[in-house]
Amino acid sequence: MNKRIWSSICGEKTSEVDGSSIDGSTTQYSIANDVLPSLGARSHRRIALRRFIVSPFDPRYRAWEMFLVLLVFYTAWASPFEFGFLQKPSIKGLAIADNIVNVFFAIDIILMTLFVAYLDKNTYLLVDDPKKITWRYMKSWFILDTMSTLPSELVLVILPGNVQAYGLFNMLRLWRLRRVSEMFSR
């Protein structure tokens, strides 16, 4: 067997000079250099997903998540204040800001339910089937996410007057804090 081929398969050093070597020194051949990427290498290939499905690794989706984390910090500040000091939404500016934040989280519920692929824990492949994406979200966080986006004014109209639900629904908004922990767990 040719010494050069044997050394390339076995990864042994040879005394022959490699033509691609700059300084003419001996080099080590390895099949791993041709098959495996170097440690820490990044691929710039785009993942082919179905139409209108967003990869969770897309930089635009990551920016959206960071924006939502900022809104979660607002919620973490405002909800305990409202729970502790307000019996009903009496401060109009605070109620408007809360409803704007709720709209952004409602948009995120739609986005998460229908359009963001997820990584399968068993195969480590992105699942881009809209039915599977929707079913997975409906089984996990959908109910609590939806309840945390209901406007306080609507809750006061729906529930009977003797139920002190305003504070409870504001504290339910702290459910959004899980988003911060999910982001740091990746």
Tokens 């009977």 sit on residue: 160
From first to last of the 186 residues of the chain, give the pLDDT tens digit. Answer: 555 544 444 544 544 444 444 555 545 555 555 565 666 666 666 678 888 899 988 899 989 989 998 998 888 888 777 777 766 666 677 888 888 998 999 999 998 878 999 989 999 889 999 999 999 999 988 888 888 888 877 776 776 665 555 566 667 777 777 777 776 666
CA atoms within 13 A on the CB side of 34: 7
CB proximity list for 149: less than 8 A, separation 6 or greater = 102, 105, 106, 109
Q: Pick the closest to residue 114 from 102, 129, 125 (CA basis).
A: 129
Eight-state DSSP code of residue 17? P
Using a cut of 0.75, tell me whether the model's pTM lies above it.
Answer: no
Domain boundaries, the chain: 3-35, 59-185
Judged by DSSP in three states, 186 sits in coil
